[in-house]
């Protein structure tokens, strides 16, 4: 399962994901999420996620916002795309 979202924290509800996976996708092998935006509470680091070896990383983007950044899955199946930010000289 691959999910990409920007600035929509409704997709970061770990309890809702866990329930959905356990009830409807018990054989899910890949959970790949890429979220660009604010992360207030990282609930996707509980024992459920660790047991499945779905490890997630938050990359803080201090230039954009104090609480902004990129949150993504850390695994070999991960897409190899990157986001670059630069500022033009005026």
Residue 66 or 39, more confident:
39
| Inside any domain, residue 90 | no
| Inside any domain, residue 20 | yes
Contact at 8 Å (CB) between 33 and 56? Answer: yes
What pLDDT, in 10s, does the model give residues 17-63? 899 999 999 998 888 877 777 666 667 777 888 888 776 666 655 55
Give dist(CA 30, CA 78) in Å, integer: 9
Please give the residue range of the domain that contains residue 67: 2-73
pLDDT band, residue 76 (cuts 50/70/90): very low
Q: Helix and strand tally (H, E) in the chain?
A: 2, 4
| Inside any domain, residue 51 | yes
Residue 80 reports pLDDT greater than 80: no
Instruction: Locate 66 and state its tokens.
Output: 């104090």
pLDDT value of position 12: 79
Q: How many domains would you assign to the chain? A: 1
| Inside any domain, residue 41 | yes
| Inside any domain, residue 18 | yes
């Amino acid at each position: 399962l691959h999910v990409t979202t920007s600035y929509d924290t409704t997709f970061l509800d770990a309890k809702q994901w866990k329930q959905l996976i356990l009830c409807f996708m018990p054989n899910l092998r890949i959970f790949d999420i890429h979220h660009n935006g604010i992360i207030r509470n990282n609930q996707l680091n509980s024992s459920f996620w660790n047991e499945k070896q779905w490890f997630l990383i938050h990359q803080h983007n201090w230039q954009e916002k104090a609480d902004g950044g990129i949150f993504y899955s850390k695994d070999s199946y991960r897409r190899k795309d990157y986001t670059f930010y630069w500022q033009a000289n005026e």
